[in-house]
Amino acid sequence: MAYALGLPLEECYIKSTSRAQDLLYTYDAVKRLYDAQLGTQASQKREKTLDIHNYIHLGPLGRAIARAHLHERRSVVLIDEVDKADLDFPNDLLLELDRLEFRIAEVRDMHYAVGDRPELRPIVIVTHNEEKPLPDAFLRRCIFHYLSFPQKEEQLNRILALHDVTDKELNEKAIAILLELRSSDLNLTKKPGLSELLDWVGYLEARNVSVAALDNKELPYPGALLKQQSDLQRAREKFDIE
Question: Do residues 80 and 169 share a domain?
Answer: no
Question: Do residues 158 and 132 share a domain?
Answer: no
Q: Give domain status of residue 175, yes or no.
A: yes
**Exposure b/e, 64-98, CB count within 10 A at least 16 = b:** bbbbbbeeeebbbbbbebbbbbeeebbebbeebbe
Dist CA 207 CA 210 (whole Å): 9
**pLDDT > 90? residue 5:** yes
**pLDDT > 70? residue 45:** no
Question: Do residues 135 and 161 share a domain?
Answer: no
Q: Give domain status of residue 148, yes or no.
A: no
Question: Do residues 59 and 84 share a domain?
Answer: yes
Return the DSSP state at 213.
H
Please name the helix (run of DSSP H) or strand (run of DSSP E) that holds residue 57, with its range, or none: strand 56-58
Q: Give domain status of residue 146, yes or no.
A: no
* Least confident window among 8-17, 202-211, 232-241: 232-241
Q: Give domain status of residue 173, yes or no.
A: yes
Question: Do residues 135 and 159 share a domain?
Answer: no
Q: Give domain status of residue 230, yes or no.
A: yes
Return the DSSP state at 221.
S
Of 113, 139, 165, at which residue does a domain stop? Answer: 139
Average pLDDT, the chain: 86
What is residue 120's predicted lDDT score, i.e. its pLDDT?
Answer: 95
Question: Do residues 7 and 116 share a domain?
Answer: yes
For 170, the domain range is 153-238
Residue 10's φ and ψ, nearest 5 degrees, are: -110, 130
Name the nearest CA neighbour of 79 among 22, 21, 12.
12
Dist CA 131 CA 214 (whole Å): 34
Question: Do residues 42 and 75 share a domain?
Answer: yes
Is the pLDDT higher at 7 or at 55?
A: 7
Mean pLDDT of 5-32: 92
Q: Give domain status of residue 24, yes or no.
A: yes
Mean pLDDT of 38-47: 57
Question: Do residues 113 and 224 share a domain?
Answer: no
How many domains does the chain contain in total? 2
Question: Do residues 33 and 134 share a domain?
Answer: yes
Dist CA 39 CA 45 (whole Å): 5
Q: Give domain status of residue 145, yes or no.
A: no
Long-range contacts, stretch 155-163, CB < 8 angstroms, 24+ apart = 156/194, 156/197, 159/194, 159/198, 160/197, 160/198, 160/201, 163/198, 163/202
Q: Dump pLDDT digits (tens) for 194-235.
A: 999 999 988 888 888 877 777 766 788 888 888 889 888 888
Question: Do residues 191 and 108 share a domain?
Answer: no
What is residue 233's predicted lDDT score, i.e. its pLDDT?
Answer: 87
Sequence letter at residue 210? S
**pLDDT > 90? residue 152:** no
Dist CA 56 CA 213 (whole Å): 58
Q: Dump pLDDT digits (tens) for 56-111.
A: 999 999 999 999 999 999 999 999 999 898 888 989 989 889 999 999 988 888 89
Question: Do residues 158 and 216 share a domain?
Answer: yes
Question: Do residues 115 and 216 share a domain?
Answer: no
